[in-house]
Chains A and B, each alone.
Chain A
């Protein structure tokens, strides 16, 4: 089963070199142990554009979809047999990147 690990943070571009190193180590472990699907950091929320084309006429809005202090700063997508494994990896991931991490399964 695949899980989305969303990295949640209240600032942007604040990753330190130490955090980046720890993330690299964690990523290597995900690959080595067969959990790795995909991972990536996101640019600042100010770079976001929201598109609403539900009425057939696209409306573009400058900025993220919600006014909030915390936003997604990056993601891991992992393949794990169950939630306990996903939670354990998310716990390590949170330590590595020094951020909160949300775990949600894909449908």
Chain B
């Protein structure tokens, strides 16, 4: 999911990277200025990045239900499948890295045939909450995703091995899977959770990455923005690029689109405003009221209606 294709790489090198290098972000919006407004949090609540960015409910009442009314919300199919897909991507990548270290690059055949073997998926426990039909659907999609991910890693390994016959295992991992999955970040500087987890940080193309399954929404870019701010606060270096990888299943096939974007002044301001608004809602216990377009699939639907 994270590896850019040829066209995207071209776009990255010719457009995004040069722009990111000269991106003039106002200093007050850089994460390392977390100790002063507007970045300094005004309330003592701590939010997860997804809590700040999610705008599936237009009034954010889902957050109010969970954080103020403290009602346990049962995950719906989309949440469960999203969690399962995330887990699959991480496990395939981790597994591939382990195999590279275990077998080493030579003899080549041993490693590549290990990477070719079918990957055994371990499902999150929430899958048991699904109907049989939903389970079957999820299993098929999960397999498709794991195969895709495995195939891409294998291709990269083979490519590097043909170019670099004397490479060691560590360098091979770095060249073929240059991504840190579930990158843990302490977001307390920004009033965010201590246990943030960015889906991925791509080291070769310095970019925060996030996976979404479902249709693209504008506010998805707030997730990468939140992680970028947290990274800047922790590491004191600029993080200017984000990428959302969208996975969609159509007729048993996985379709992947990527939205590369600059983490500019506007996204940063949007993130901070959203954080402040939501923190205030929780701290002051303000009921934001029902949205006027509630969907029955919303996990807070029962509580709200």
A and B bind: no
Instruction: Name B residues whose Cβ lies closer than 8 Å to a Cβ of A.
Output: none
